Amino acid sequence: MFSDFTRALGQIGDPRFRRVLLLGVGLALALLVGVYAGMLGLIEWLAPASVNIPLVGPVGGLDTLLSIGSALLMLGLSIFLMVPVAALFSGLFLEDVVQAVEDRHYPALPPVPRLKLSDSLIDAVNFFGLLVLANALALLLYPFAGPLVPVVFWAVNGFLLGREYFTLVAMRRLGRKGAKALRARHNGAIWLAGTLMAAPLSVPFVNLVIPVLGVATFTHMFHRLNGAR
């Protein structure tokens, strides 16, 4: 699996890789900025400019204080949500990454029809929901994990990354049923590979490359495992 990752990393400069990365990150940033702008508008609409406190009198600047607090909150949420949001949007274009890998390393393969946009959207939304839910549940375990917090984070996200990215790649050639069957036979190796992908998720900015690099890695892994079955 290390050779799969190395081959994927060697293709990171491919124009189709960069396009998917830029689209995913750009759309994610646009969504986060839009949510923050909406939050500011709601604060300005609901929060009074001042409040009257007994024995003190009117105290102003409440709306400004709430705006500053919302900025800090949004900054914290962006760290938590940037990866799943980027994965959501990148998921709409990741088939281009798979095709780029196959064109370069497996040119003899017969062409396959592209997945329907509706299917790609459903898979991307489901993956986004799973990432957010799993990480929210993992937050409940962190106080009890002590020094093993990174291990819990990597294991949870590694399982999801391996499961989703391998299935996405495999079902282009085998269909959804065949992809699940192949994944079940190699579940341990796929989870381990996903965990190796999950480790950089805790590194800012590097984590944004994971959707692209992960799919490229699992494309190589799929062809290696499918050829050996």
Contact at 8 Å (CB) between 126 and 88?
no
Length of the chain: 229
Give bridge partners of residue 51 from the DSSP assignment. 59
Write down the pLDDT at residue 26: 77
Write down the pLDDT at residue 58: 47
Q: Return all residues near 8 (Cβ < 8 A) that are at least 6 apart.
A: 101, 213, 216, 217, 219, 220
Q: Name which of 123, 44, 29 is nearest 85 in CA terms.
A: 29
Walk along the chain (229 residues) in steps of 10 and give the mean pLDDT of each run: 83 84 75 70 58 45 50 56 62 80 90 73 73 75 76 82 85 86 91 84 71 87 80
Write down the pLDDT at residue 75: 56
Q: Name which of 84, 179, 184 is nearest 134 in CA terms.
A: 84
Write down the pLDDT at residue 222: 92
Please state, in angstroms and rounded to a whole number, the distance separating the CA atoms of residues 40 and 203.
29
Write down the pLDDT at residue 13: 83
Any idea what the Cα angle at residue 126 is, between residues 71 and 85, rounded to 5°? 25
Element (H or E) spanning 202, and its range?
none
Give bridge partners of residue 50 from the DSSP assignment. 60
The structure's pTM equals 0.73
Give bridge partners of residue 57 from the DSSP assignment. 53
CA 164 to chain CA centroid, Å, is: 10
Q: Name which of 128, 122, 114, 139 is nearest 161 in CA terms.
A: 128
Quick check: helix, strand or coil at residue 58?
strand
